Structure formats: structure tokens, C-alpha cells
Amino acid sequence: MSQKKGMKGDKGGWKVFLLVHDKKMGTSISDLVRRSKDDLVAFLNTFSDGDDLKVFTKVMQCQANREVVETLSDSSTSYQVWLRQNYPAACNNDMDTGVGVGHGYWVSDTEWLIIKVGKLSKAKKSNSMVAVDCEMVLCEDGTEALVQVCAVDPSLEVKLNELVKPNKVIADYRTEITGITADDLEKVTCSLANIQKSMRRLLSHGTILVGHSLNSDLEGMLGIMFTYTLRIAKYLEPIAMVCTRIVLEEVHRNSWDERGSKTV
């Protein structure tokens, strides 16, 4: 790296340094891999410029991070905690890659519900999928609360469709979006904890969770974290538009969000 960047210490670049440091061998062996650790350390010690030291520090930190990751199971809680502590911004924001897979989606600092997926190799080979969608209302304290969860399997059969009673005072039911009114929740007894238990039963090891803007849905379920999630929001048109074209009816229904996600 120092050679590519043309970095020079007090005794010049790498090859010039070798001529001074090792007069016997000189540059006859300039390959870093074939040089001793002491030679490399001696070369690094010739650098005193602040910018150069920052570059080397960054490289060493990256190497240290790789070594830490290698010692942790990629599906373990320890790995997620390490990732959260070292890269909080990446964990809080969109972790999608170019193919739309978010690895290690972390959405809440508290009240985690972690679904273990076992060995990563098995999870990657999994063809088990569940599409999920949540409806949220606005509470008086400015936060959002979960009021409905729906999930379907690969055959588009509805596996879960429950209204949820928020434990906060609702300020806006967002009926034009959720389709839910105060009357709909009047006799509802299902709680957030009940939904978390239902989701835990529904999801098996290696299950791939599919949805539209999954970060919002997972946050709504208070920190349910899965190793593999598939988000389509940033790549495709809104689910409501997809469903409208499919069923030719502009009505928002939770199960259609699910089936739309799974279909696309």
C-alpha cells in the first residue's frame, strides 16, 4: 500500500529503506511477504508525518476488525453486538446491498427478540420464506404503535392476520392508509407481546423474511431481528400500485401487501 501511494518515511520509500536497513540483502528481496516482521516494523517506525500515521492506523484497525469477525459466529448475538457497537450508523440505516439483501438487520436498542438461524451456511441455502406487513398508528406522544400484522407463506396462504391493541393513546389512526378505525380496535385484546410470540412460532431456522420497507415493520415489532431479510421498497414500485394492477381495485388491505411482496 505504501508503495502504491508513494509514501516515504524518514529513510525514503520501501526499497530505498531496504538499501539502508539491510545492506547485505538490499532490494534483492523486496516482497513484503518474504520480509521479516522486524523489517516491516522498522520501516513503519520511519514514518512521523501525521497523515501517514492516520493511514497506517486505519489499515491496522481494519485488519483488527477482520480478525474479530473471524472469531465470531456470523449468526451469533456476539457478532451483532460487536457490529452494533462499531458501526451504529450502518445498523440504524439501510443495510441493503446491490441485490437487496440486508444482513444482520438491527432496528432497536431495547427489547430485542432474536431469532437464531443456526449455521450461516444452512441459512443461505434456505428456501423457506414468510412475507410480512405491519400497519402503524400515530400516538399522542409522537411515536408510532403497531395495530396490525399480517404474514403469508410462499403459497400466499395467510398465516397470521391480527389486530393489535397499542398500550398508548392513539392520536391518528391513519385510516386512509391502514383501513383501521377506533371501532376496529375496541374489542381487540392481542398485545405486542402476543404478536412477538406468534412470529417466533411462525418463523423457523433459516426463514427468509420478505417485505416492503421491512425496517419500519421490524421496528414496529420492537426489535425483532432476523439474520436474513429481503427488502424490495428501494427497487420496486409501491405495493399498493402492484396490487392495484393485479386486482384492479384501489383498496389498501394488509394481506394484499403481503401477497404483493411475495409475488414480486
pLDDT at 147: 95
Residues 73-118: tens digit of each pLDDT: 444 555 555 556 565 555 554 444 333 334 444 444 445 555 555 5
In this predicted structure, the answer to whether residue 222 has a pLDDT above a threshold of 80 is: no
What's the rounded mean pLDDT across residues 132-158?
92
Regarding pTM above 0.85, the answer is no
What are phi and psi for residue 116, nearest 5 degrees?
A: -75, 140
DSSP for 64-106, please give it: HHHHHHHTS-TTSHHHHHHHHHH-HHHHHS--B-TTSEEES--
Residues 155-211: tens digit of each pLDDT: 889 999 999 999 999 999 999 989 999 999 999 999 999 998 888 888 766 678 888
Nearest to 147 by CA among 201, 205, 105, 192: 192
| Summary mean pLDDT of the chain | 72
The DSSP code for 101 is: E
Residue spans of the domains in the chain: they are 14-70, 95-263
In this predicted structure, the answer to whether residue 8 has a pLDDT above a threshold of 90 is: no
In this predicted structure, the answer to whether residue 134 has a pLDDT above a threshold of 80 is: yes
Contact present, 226 and 209 (Cβ < 8 Å): yes
67 vs 44, residue with greater confidence: 44
Q: Is CATH 3.40.50.720 the right assignment for the domain spanning 95-263? A: no
Distance CA 225, CA 187 (A): 30
